[in-house]
Structure 1
Amino acid sequence: MPHITLENACLAFGHHALLDHAAFQLDPGERVGLIGRNGTGKSSLLRVLAGEINLDDGVLRIEPGISVAYVPQEPELDETRSVFSEVARGLGELSQVLLDYHQVSHDLGAADADIEALLERMQQLQSILESQDGWRIHNKVQTAINKLELDEDAIVGTLSGGARKRVALARAMVLSPDVLLLDEPTNHLDFVSIEWLEETLREINASIIFITHDRRFLDNVATRIIELDRGELVSFPGNFSAYQIKKAEILETEATHNKKFDKVLTQEEVWIRKGIQARRTRNEGRVRRLEALRRERAARRERMGKVNFKVELGERSGQLVAELENVVKQYDEKIIISNFSCRIMRGDRIGLLGPNGAGKSTLLKLILGEVQPDAGTVRLGTKLSVAYFDQMRKQLDENLTLVESISQGSDFIEIGGVRKHVISYLEDFLFSPLRARSPVKTLSGGERNRLLLARLFTQPANVLVLDEPTNDLDIETLELLESLLQDYSGTLFLVSHDRAFLDNVVTQVIAFEGNGQLREYAGGFEDWLRVANAAKSVEKDAQKPTSIPAASAVTSSRNSKNVSVKSVNSAKLSYQEKQELEKLPEKIDNLEQERESISARLSDPTLYQGNPDEIKVLQARTTVLEKELSALFSRWEVLESKFIKAK
């Protein structure tokens, strides 16, 4: 039985029909990618399915007992809560138990903590968690928070828009709904988070409908593609690659049919306009046929226009764009860039890869001379003219109209030596004359990105800096932008988490690999991933006799027993660090054995019949052991990473 069914669904805003007698059903286990041009109504459809807005006409049926979770583009969160409490919210009574346990764990570390009272409270909470499968859910909360790179103790109101979106995603994952509705889930996620989300969505036992313009994400997750096209929902089995093949066939057939139809209509219009001659031989059936043809032509669903833009190159820059030698940059105690050297030449198309906060924007500012390095030198080329696309859209004044944002006081702009009216120019970016006179604050995310691109391309530039330009752009506009950048003869710097876009545009990447280390690779994202994975495989093989799988060591501690490390010979490690690394496995093994011994003792029912003091001591020791083990594993990763890089 379908989880969700739509029949004869109609929804309109003003005279614009978003759904025009559309039909759809979502079956158990399906993962549906919802695609379509910006402004077609995809987000509105998700809001209908989530029960936030009602259809103008038609029927929406949701199977009784089905739970639905919805993550919008701009989620509404309780700004006074911590990240942990917001992620855990919605789990019923268990939610408060988890929050209380989390708080007690924190309080135990306080200098003035009432240990006896806190341990007694912890014992009560542990009993409840054990009886309600709470430990598994607690682990899900922690995993979601960690994988999405969130600070569990941060207050939601202090977070950026991207971090808030990740909080909402984490909460949805923890709730384990029957139906999950996601609106642009990959926005503001880095590669690691996107890959974790892909894997999670493939594994969870839920039906999913998600809106995204990330073609690689669609290929990796979707089992069916639904296209919202001119008010209708059209289904395509398979992933995005299968959709592309089938869609091309449909458009070709549609074009052929329309061409034949228009030819017949033209012939009939010529006949009816022959005046007296036509009236002499008038066939009433033929007249009725012409009227029917006219009605059919009027009702034909025309494809939306395409964005039409080009980059004004401006004066040719010098051959050398920038040269960095042994550059170092850090903020406070955090090293962003450590001893990095590179040379950037005219025509290079460079992708910057790294997790959020790694320092990609800092590197761009160094290359463009906006900030100075703490050490090393940066030499800039000559005749550089830079156009900058800002992912935060700070260049847009919310109170100006679209025309004012582009024209800067003039009704005309000059593009490629051609003078063009600003209204006509904005129409190339799919803004109608009426929309062009609206304020910027009324625009959607995708529309703002298109406006920023429109503004960017009015500036003659031989260096383009694009910081997340793909967010909220529809697939058709993305592909056009790709084509434009492939033909661009200037120098391009691109920051993006759209893997397909990177592969189709850049010729080399600079990857942030942790601890301030940067490395250059030829090719795009897939080339970098292949080389990086090959390097990791070699390192893994080299360390088989010596390594502990750090990522899973805490949760699978038994697997780390009886592991020993052979002598580490590396001149790059200090003597003390080498000794520390050699001794870590033994320390970890001893602590884990102690933890298992305590766990076995706490599982003994006789303990609870008359030894409350011992229980408190054991529980307190368990908390301390967890913290010590976590610190040891973190130290292990640091030393082993340093050892690997030194080889």
Structure 2
Amino acid sequence: MSLYTISDAQLAFGHVALLDHADFSLEAGERVGLIGRNGAGKSSLLKIVADLAKPDDGLITRQQHVVSVYVPQEPEFEAGASVFDAVAGGLAHARELLDEYDHVAHALADTPEGPQHDTLLARMNTLQSSLDTTDAWNWRTRVSTTLQQIGLDGGAQVGALSGGMQKRVALAQALVVQPDVLLLDEPTNHLDFDGIRWLEELLLGQRAGLLFITHDRAFLDRIATRIVELDRGRLLSYPGNFSAYQTRKAQQLEVERIENDKFDKLLAQEEVWIRKGVEARRTRSVGRIARLVQMRNERAERRNVQGNVKLDVAQGEKSGKIVAELTDVTKRFGARTVVDHFSATLMRGDKIGLVGPNGAGKTTLLKLILGELQPDEGRVRVGTNLQVAYFDQMRAQLDQEKSLADTISPGSDWVEINGAKKHVMSYLGDFLFAPERARSPVKSLSGGERNRLLLARLFARPANVLVLDEPTNDLDIPTLELLEELLTDYDGTVLLVSHDRAFLDNVVTSVIASEGEGKWREYVGGFTDWQTQSARSEQLAQRDAPKEPVKEAASKDSAAGRNAQRAVKLSYKEQRELDALPERIAALEREQKTIGAQLEDGSIFTKDAQEGTRLTQRYAQIDEELMAALERWNELESKGK
């Protein structure tokens, strides 16, 4: 039986049907990626599954006692809350039960035997059963264990954390509940590459059913065992990851096109027949006329594939051959060195990705390259005739009160693209903004729509250098793919900051990567090439590192001395246990890695759902065994010192 099922669901926003007699189910152990165009209704569906919203119509069934937890795109926490208290907030219901249990217990002690005493006793028994079921007695231990698992400091203030760390707190708040169904809305937002990899490993090890919304195609490929697309009100299911979905979707759209062409041809023939007038009435073909009326209605109701954004960039004059030349550039902020003796030459037509963890200084390096920031040491030579168009990740360039039309073309109804004039309404239509939206204020737009508007404004201005700071946030997958095509064909220079691995692979010709402590290095190729070259460089550095046999021997002697001292303080049984623990921990880690590889592609759930469930449970169990083994190792080590 499915954990959760929606049948014949209907949901409308105004005259637009977000769910049109849609069906959906989630099985135990599944990891379902929910995709669709911006505004299609993905977040609305996620909230329905989370029981935070209701469809207009339809049947919803869920297994009894199934616990689901929803993590929003932008989590909110109480002002001044500590990380421990924020995570413990996930167990608020359990803590309320404990408080009531204590209150009832005290009242029971002060109440003489009689009807009121019996009522209190019955309530106490009910509460005890609920507390046992939810393991609420150990809520503090559960919070501490979850904080340790996710790598959070319980004493830190949530408000002082970065967006990426706050995302971790929200996930910890959800996982401490030990849910059966985990619902995530854009979980990779605010996470850097390390954070995304950490999240992938965490989710692959969860036994809970997973339903998540994301536009990160690499994340979908790694995590999803099934793709569900919300397309024109219908929910379409595709087994496998995102790559498998792309193949099947292309085939499906081709079949749909052929069927629509056949239908339209038949409708045209029937329209010709009905216009024959007298001859049609003479034949008295009432059935044929009724069929024509039905076909007209079907054609009117058919919801065609939503149009795609038409991207075109206004090309400026060519810049000089050299866009920027950096020689031994260093930039510091106080005691912190953000860029340390970096040299590079950027040529016209280069498409360069800047990658590194949040706070590494990518935006600072961009400003140095463009001459907007002066280095403390070294020299920056900026090329000639640069026309720079800047895409700001904070959307600071958008005036919230201005209309869409005024944002694109202030004081004029026309924009000029590559020497040709185009009406602003038509241009906004290329970016999927209907004419009636053109006079709406910017503040009425969703995150994805604001990104589209900023792209429309960016591409309406002549430029030979595009600076894109996180342009992929909130863009749906079809728009991402079109933006990739545009940038690939663009003759000018592109400087790109992004955490979208697939986008970087498909666009950039080289990567400038942060290597820590202000060091930056350029690698030829995309994100995957950078990872491969970086790993190879690290291996070569380790292989060529000078060995110190004398120190190694001394270290061994020292270790032997410590072991000898430890043997005196530990019993024979404890010493044997301590000696065996490293191998046990290594064996558990090997087993977990093997299971992780089996679960990763999701095919196990198609072949044998029970085995898939067993493996996910074992993966989670190994986590607990590893933690216990590490704690025991630490305990014995401390005792032997």
Matched, 1:207 2:209: yes
Counterpart contact for 2:465–2:494, Cα < 8 Å: yes
SS of the equivalent of 1:316 reads: coil
AA partner of residue 6 (structure 1): I
**Cα offset, 1:152, TM superposition:** 5.3
Check whether the contact 2:387–2:463 (CA below 8 A) recurs between aligned residues: yes
The letter for the 1-side match of 2:226 is: R
- 1:463 aligned to which of 462, 465, 469: 465
Alpha-carbon distance in structure 1 between the residues aligned to 2:211 and 2:75 = 17
Paired residues of 1:144 and 1:174 also in contact (CA < 8 A):
no
For residues 351-410 of structure 1, give each alpha carbon's deviation from its aligned partner in whole angstroms, at most 9, with x where no partner exists: 011000001000000000111111000000000010111111111111222122112122
Matches of 1:592 and 1:368 in 2, distance apart? 59
Shift of 1:89: 2.8
Cα distance, 1:516 vs structure 2: 1.2
Task: Give, in whole Å, the separation in 1 of the partners of 2:64 and 2:202.
Answer: 26
Instruction: Measure, in 1, the Cα distance between the counterparts of 2:549 and 2:77.
Output: 50
Is 1:313 aligned to residue 319 of structure 2? Answer: no
User: What amino acid sits opposite 2:262 in the alignment?
Assistant: K
Is the alpha carbon distance of 1:198 and 1:35 closer, same or farther for their aligned partners in structure 2, counting shifts above 3 Å?
A: same
Q: 1:310 to 1:42 in 2, by over 3 A?
A: same
1:235-263 Cα deviation digits (max 9, x unpaired):
00111111111111110000001101100
Partners of 1:335 and 1:516 within 8 A in 2:
yes
Report what 2:510 is aligned to.
508
With normalisation by structure 2, the TM-score equals 0.78
Distance in 2 (CA, whole Å) between partners of 1:280 and 1:73 is 64
What corresponds to 1:237 in structure 2? 239
Greater RCO (Cα-Cα under 8 Å, separation 6 or more)? 2
Give the structure 1 partner of residue 433 of structure 2.
431
Structure 1 CA distance, aligned partners of 2:403 and 2:557?
67
Query: Structure 1 residues 244, 385: closer, same or farther in 2, change over 3 A?
Result: same
8 Å CA contact retained: 1:68, 1:179: yes
Indicate the residue corresponding to 1:2 in structure 2. Answer: 2
Q: C-alpha offsets along residues 182-233 of structure 1, whole Å, 9 cap, x if unaligned?
A: 1111111111111111111111111000101111111100000000001110
Question: What CA distance in whole angstroms lies between the structure 1 residues aligned with 2:563 and 2:66?
Answer: 42
Partner of 1:168 in structure 2?
170
Contact 1:389-1:465 within 8 A present in 2 as well: yes
The Cα of 1:484 is off from its aligned counterpart by 0.2
> Do structure 1's residue 47 and structure 2's residue 58 form an aligned pair?
no
- Tell whether 2:143 aligns with 1:141: no
1:322–1:345 CA contact under 8 A, matched in 2: yes
Provide closer, same or farther for how the CA distance between residues 594 and 156 of structure 1 changes in structure 2, counting only shifts above 3 A: farther
2:184 to 182, 185, 193: 182
Name the counterpart of 2:15.
15
Deviation at 1:171, TM superposition (A): 2.5
Pair 200,541 (structure 1): closer, same or farther in 2 beyond 3 Å: farther
Aligned to 1:27: 27
Q: SS of the residue aligned with 1:329?
A: strand
1:156 aligns with 2:158: yes
Q: State the Cα RMSD in Å.
A: 3.1
Q: Which amino acid aligns with 1:70?
A: Y
Map of 2:76 onto structure 1: 76
275, 278, 281: which one pairs with 2:280?
278
Taking the aligned partners of 2:492 and 2:95, their CA distance within structure 1 comes to 54
- Which residue of structure 1 aligns with residue 331 of structure 2? 329
Q: Say whether the 8 Å CA contact 2:164–2:195 is kept in structure 1.
A: no
Task: Tell me the secondary structure at the aligned position of residue 90 of structure 2.
Answer: coil
Given that 1:325 and 1:340 are in contact with CA atoms closer than 8 Å, whether structure 2 keeps it comes out as yes
Distance 1:161 1:514 in 2: 20
Over 3 Å counting, the alpha-carbon distance change for 1:56 and 1:298 in structure 2 is same
Secondary structure of the structure 2 residue equivalent to 1:521:
strand
CA displacement, residues 444-482 of structure 1 (integer Å, 9 cap, x when unaligned): 111111111111111111000001100111100000000
State the AA in 1 paired with 2:89. Answer: R
Deviation at 1:598, TM superposition (A): 9.5
Q: Partners in 1 of 2:43 and 2:556 — Cα distance?
A: 51
Q: CA deviation at 1:140?
A: 3.0
Residues 356, 317 of structure 1: alpha-carbon distance in 2 compared, 3 angstrom cutoff: same
Deviation at 1:8? 1.0
**Candidates 530, 534, 555, aligned match of 1:532:** 534
Residue from 383, 388, 391 that aligns with 1:389 = 391
CA-CA distance at 1:136 after TM superposition: 7.1
Pick closer, same or farther for the CA change 1:279–1:69 going to 2, 3 Å: same
Moved more, 513-522 or 532-541: 532-541
Residue 478 of structure 1 pairs with residue 484 of structure 2: no
Secondary structure of the 1:532 match is helix
Structure 2 CA distance for aligned equivalents of residues 76 and 52 of structure 1: 16
C-alpha distance in structure 1 between counterparts of 2:376 and 2:182, whole Å:
47
The alpha-carbon distance between structure 1 residues 144 and 3, as it changes in their structure 2 partners (threshold 3 A), is same
**In structure 2, how many angstroms separate the alpha carbons of the residues matched to 1:303 and 1:36?**
12
Shift of 1:537: 3.2
The amino acid across from 1:232 in the alignment is: R
Question: In structure 2, what is the Cα distance between the partners aligned to 1:294 and 1:184?
Answer: 40
TM-superposed deviation, 1:304:
0.7
TM-fit CA distance, 1:586: 8.8
C-alpha distance in 2 between matches for 1:272 and 1:256: 25
The aligned amino acid for 2:50 is A
The residue type equivalent to 2:437 in the other structure is R
Q: 3-state SS of the aligned residue for 2:468?
A: strand
Name the SS of the counterpart of 1:46 in structure 2.
helix
State the shift of 1:72 in Å: 1.1
Tell me if the contact between 1:145 and 1:167 (Cα under 8 Å) persists in the aligned partners: no
**SS class of match (1:379):** strand
Flag the 1:257–1:93 CA change in 2: closer, same or farther, 3 A.
Answer: closer
Give the AA of the match of 2:236.
Answer: V
What is the deviation of 1:596? Answer: 11
Q: 1:532 to 1:472 in 2, by over 3 A?
A: same
1:223 is aligned to 225
**Which residue matches 2:194?**
192
Tell me the CA shift for residue 172 of structure 1. Answer: 2.4
When residues 409 and 379 of structure 1 are mapped into structure 2, their CA distance, relative to the original with a 3 A threshold, is same
Q: Which moved more, 1:252-261 or 1:71-80?
A: 71-80
Q: Letter of the aligned partner of 2:273 in structure 1?
A: W
Q: CA 1:59 to 1:334, structure 2 compared with 1: closer, same or farther past 3 Å?
A: same
Q: Cα gap change, 1:55/1:457 in structure 2, threshold over 3 Å: closer, same or farther?
A: same
SS in 2 for 1:492: strand
Residues in 1 aligned to 2:568 and 2:66: alpha-carbon distance in whole angstroms: 43
Give the distance between the partners of 1:187 and 1:11, measured in 2 at CA.
27
What secondary structure, in the 3-state scheme, does the structure 2 residue paired with 1:225 have? strand
Amino acid in structure 1 at the alignment position of 2:69: A
Change (3 A) 1:467 1:538: same
Q: Does 1:452 align with 2:462?
A: no
**C-alpha separation in 1, matches of 2:93 and 2:538:** 44
Number of residue pairs the alignment of both structures matches = 538
The 5-angstrom pairing of residues 369-384 of structure 1 reads: 369-384=371-386
> Structure 2: 5+ residue runs without aligned partners?
97-134, 575-633
For the residue of structure 1 that corresponds to 2:456, the secondary structure is helix
Rounded Cα–Cα distance in structure 2 between residues aligned with 1:352 and 1:371: 17
Whether the aligned pair in 2 keeps the contact of 1:18 and 1:41 (CA below 8 Å) is yes
Judge conservation of contact 1:88–1:141 (CA < 8 Å) in 2. Answer: no
- Displacement of 1:282: 3.9
Separation in 1, partners of 2:276, 2:484: 50
Distance change >3 Å, CA 90–CA 317, structure 1 → 2: same
The one-letter code sitting in structure 2 at the alignment partner of 1:58 is: G
- How far the C-alpha of 1:433 sits from its partner, in A, is 1.7
Deviates more, 1:11-20 or 1:30-39: 11-20
User: Could you say which residue in structure 1 is the equivalent of 2:614?
Assistant: none
1-side partners of 2:478 and 2:73: how far apart? 20
